[in-house]
């Protein structure tokens, strides 16, 4: 049994298979999942697990080069903006784009991790960096 890092076998598999600039999405329970993109559904109940816990766990096991957020979060979800600021402070480039552009970027993701989060615009596209 694994001792450290992501225990969820599907998330661990996707992260292990990612290369430079590949992307993965962490999403609230309302984000539409594009056809053809793998959905790793972690949602159990409304709010559980929350977006921020899943984001922290993934970031502990993932080299993030760039993060993409919906610009609407600036007005509707200050906690998401705070997470974006934290990512930027850690050296990850952060971009804010309109939600429609965000959803279009999701079509290229290796997988979308669906959480039980029920606050608006609690979504991020994480682009893989390299560890060397």
∠ CA(89), CA(93), CA(99), 5° rounding? 115
Is 76 one of the catalytic residues?
no
- The Cα–Cα gap between 114 and 30 comes to 9
- For residue 45, count other CB atoms closer than 10 A to its CB: 9
C-beta of residue 23 within 8 angstroms of C-beta of residue 125:
yes
∠ CA(129), CA(130), CA(131), 5° rounding? 125
**Known binder of ligand: residue 99?**
yes
**Known binder of ligand: residue 10?**
no
**Known binder of ligand: residue 56?**
no
Peptide bond between residue 54 and the one before it cis (omega within 30 degrees of 0)? no
Q: Which of 4, 20, 76, 82 is catalytic?
A: 20
Q: Which residues are catalytically annotated?
A: 20
- Which residues participate in the annotated binding site for substrate? 28, 99, 121-123
- Which residues participate in the annotated binding site? 28, 99, 121-123
């Amino acid at each position: 049994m694994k001792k450290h890092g992501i225990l969820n076998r599907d998330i661990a598999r996707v992260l292990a298979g990612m290369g430079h600039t590949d992307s993965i999405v962490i999403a609230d329970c309302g984000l539409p999942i594009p056809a053809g993109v793998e959905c790793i559904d972690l949602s159990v109940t409304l709010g559980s697990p929350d977006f921020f816990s899943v984001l922290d766990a993934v970031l502990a096991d993932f080299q993030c080069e760039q993060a993409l957020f919906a610009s609407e979060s600036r007005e509707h979800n200050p906690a998401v903006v705070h997470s974006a600021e934290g990512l930027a402070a850690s050296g990850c480039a952060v971009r804010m784009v309109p939600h429609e552009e965000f959803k279009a970027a999701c079509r290229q993701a290796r997988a979308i991790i669906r959480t039980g989060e029920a606050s608006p615009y609690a979504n991020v596209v994480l682009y893989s960096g390299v560890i060397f």
